[in-house]
Every structure is written in C-alpha cells, then in structure tokens.
Amino acid sequence: MRRFIVLGHRAITSAEFKLDDLCGSTGRLDILLRCVNSAFFLSHGIRKDVEIVLMLLGEPSPPKTIRIDGSEVKYLNPDERSTAALIRNALLQKGEGERRCSPGIYVSERDYSEVLSNVSKESKMYYLKEDGQDIRDVAFGEDSTFVLGDDQDLSELEESVLMAYEPKKISLGPISYHADHCVTLVNNELDRKQ
C-alpha cells in the first residue's frame, strides 16, 4: 500500500465553492485535486494499491478529511473539475465518524494527529523534504506513507507532530516541486522498485 497525506492548509471546508473558480475560491483546493490525479491515474486504469488522504484545513469548519481508496474508487476522472465535484459532494455529507460519500471516497472530521496516529500503526512514514535523503537511495517496504504540504510547507507544529513517528526524510531532486509533481515522482520510484 502507498499512501499520500496532503495538507491543504487553507483548503475550503464547506461545499460553498464554484467549480468555475477552483484556483481562486477554494483556498487552493486545486492543488489537492491535482494530487488525486497524480496518485491514481495510469494510462490503462486506476492504481488499486494507493490511498490518498486530503486534509482540508481552511475555513469555515476545519478539519475535513477526505480519504480516497484506489481499491474501491469509482467515477474518478483525470480532470480537476470532476474531482472537485466529488470532493464537494463529500463535503455535503453530514454525520459522525467516517462516512462513505461515493464508492471509495470517505469524509470525516479526523484531525491531523489522529490521521497520523492511525496510519503509523501499520505504515512506515516518509516526509518529503528538500534536505532529505535522495529517494533513489531509499528502500521501501510493503506499506509506505508520504506526508507533504500543498503550496505551503508543514508548519513547525505540524512538523513536530509528524517527527514523533520518526519519519524518514526523503528528497526528490535538486529543485522544489509542486505537490502533485512530487506524488508522480514518488509513484514512479516505487513502480521501479516493486
């Protein structure tokens, strides 16, 4: 299993946004949408062994945590707008605990600490960071979780919470990349090592 946890520091936590203005009106939810594309899409299908957790941390009611499970997901298309519509639908689901919104898509109010705590029980944690070890020199086990920010790095507090799980810091190259490009590069490296 490969898992990506992406922190959307200002990502909107209500369904009150326009699909026509994803860049401007959603607290950069558009970045997270592109990460979904990078996480799942192959030329000939969807990656079944991938899960992505989008942490929406913006106004008006943070946190909203969207989990997409590649082994179950349906109705996912590669474009930003249709993925945004799925997320908007998820944000409309009221209730308690983690709720299934559509096949393979779940929403909850789990916060960052709870998400990390749950995941780290079964998965080795990796922190994408410019000063980390080159990913090409790292061996990966069966279950790997990669934590990254949107267009903002993790805050000091977020980083300190993560460091409690002793993540391995890994870097993807000599330049700093957009989050979705990072996901593509991680997937490629793990494809090569499997």
Q: Which is nearer to its own copies, 78 or 103 (CB)?
A: 78
For residue 26, give the amino acid letter: T
Q: Which is nearer to its own copies, 83 or 108 (CB)?
A: 83
Burial class for 47, CB neighbours closer than 10 Å (0-12, 13-18, 19+): middle
CB of 184 to its own copies, least distance (A): 5
Q: Which is nearer to its own copies, 78 or 118 (CB)?
A: 78
CB of 54 to its own copies, least distance (A): 17
Contact footprint for its own copies (CB under 8 A): 19-20, 22-23, 30-31, 34, 37-38, 41-44, 77-82, 151, 172-178, 181, 184-185, 187-188, 191-192
Q: Which is nearer to its own copies, 157 or 175 (CB)?
A: 175
CB of 183 to its own copies, least distance (A): 9
Q: Is the peptide bond before 63 cis (omega within 30 degrees of 0)?
A: yes
CB 55 within 8 A of CB 8: yes
CA dihedral in degrees (71, 104, 190, 1; nearest 10)? Answer: -70
CB of 111 to its own copies, least distance (A): 26
- State residue 166 phi and psi, 5-degree precision: 50, 55
